[in-house]
Amino acid sequence: MTTPLSERRQAQLAALIDAAERRIAEGGMANLRARDLAADIGIALGGLYNIVADLDELALRVSSRTLGRLGEALTAASDALPLRTKDDAVTRLVAIAHAYLHFARDNLLLWRTLFELRLAEGTALPAWAADDQLRLFRHVAEPLTLLVPDMDETRQVLAARTLFAAVHGIVTLGLEERLVAVPLTALEAQIEWLVRATCRGLRE
């Protein structure tokens, strides 16, 4: 029995994303080449563009998978801790930030791709990709709601994004190969200090 075209394309897309993910994990975005990817999954070069529009779309799909795995790591860190008091909220935010650090370190090139990908000028980020990114902020929003219950939604979104950006900055600099390597325990301490200081400021 012949497999329906849609199912065949779906299987090819999954195989293509797998191949692209392996190549990025081994050598970063520079390792993502159409001819190599087509050979990886056993199709003609032109057939690749029947599966995805271009390599930007493919990189986005790999990033979507990476964001999903990152979300699972943050969920595991969150679910391991209670959330009943304001102190619990601070502890959970620290745990989430540490989970982000560990995910970045353990998946370095895939994690970097989340921020290195640049779409062609005039190309809008697909809605599904934007949703994947925004979904991560819920991990920060929940403890923030408990920590500062009178914060309106606009301020909460801004606080969540600012806290993420600050933690991301420490992680990025700490894992940057061109700088002096920072021990993991030192990065964890810096991140905890930042999160706790931010939480004190929000509560005042």
pLDDT in tens, 62-100: 999 999 999 999 999 999 999 999 999 999 999 999 999
Say yes or no to pLDDT of 168 above 70: yes
97 and 193 fall within a common domain: yes
**Domain assignment present for 59:** no
**Domain assignment present for 60:** no
21 and 94 fall within a common domain: no
Query: What confidence category does residue 37 fall into, taking pLDDT thresholds of 50, 70 and 90?
Result: very high
- CATH code for position 177: 1.10.357.10
Average pLDDT over residues 112-122: 80
Which residues, 6+ apart, have CB-to-CB distance to 90 below 8 Å? Answer: 143, 147, 195, 196, 199
11 and 74 fall within a common domain: no
Greatest alpha-carbon span in the chain: 68
71 and 19 fall within a common domain: no
21 and 110 fall within a common domain: no
Say yes or no to pLDDT of 3 above 70: no
20 and 77 fall within a common domain: no
Could you tell me the two tokens for 79? Answer: 């679910």
**Domain assignment present for 57:** no
- DSSP sequence for 124-137: PPPHHHHHHHHHTT
**Domain assignment present for 58:** no
Say yes or no to pLDDT of 154 above 70: yes
Q: Lowest-confidence range among 8-22, 40-54, 60-74, 121-135?
A: 121-135
| pTM for the structure as a whole | 0.89
Average pLDDT of the chain is 89
Say yes or no to pLDDT of 174 above 50: yes
- CATH code for position 47: 1.10.10
Query: What confidence category does residue 2 fall into, taking pLDDT thresholds of 50, 70 and 90?
Result: very low
Query: What confidence category does residue 180 fall into, taking pLDDT thresholds of 50, 70 and 90?
Result: low
Tell me, what's the pLDDT at 178? Answer: 53
**Domain assignment present for 166:** yes
**Domain assignment present for 188:** yes
Structural domain boundaries enclosing 74: 65-203
**Domain assignment present for 97:** yes
153 and 108 fall within a common domain: yes
14 and 74 fall within a common domain: no
89 and 15 fall within a common domain: no
**Domain assignment present for 25:** yes
Distance CA 170, CA 204 (A): 24
Say yes or no to pLDDT of 1 above 50: no
- How many domains is the chain partitioned into structurally? 2
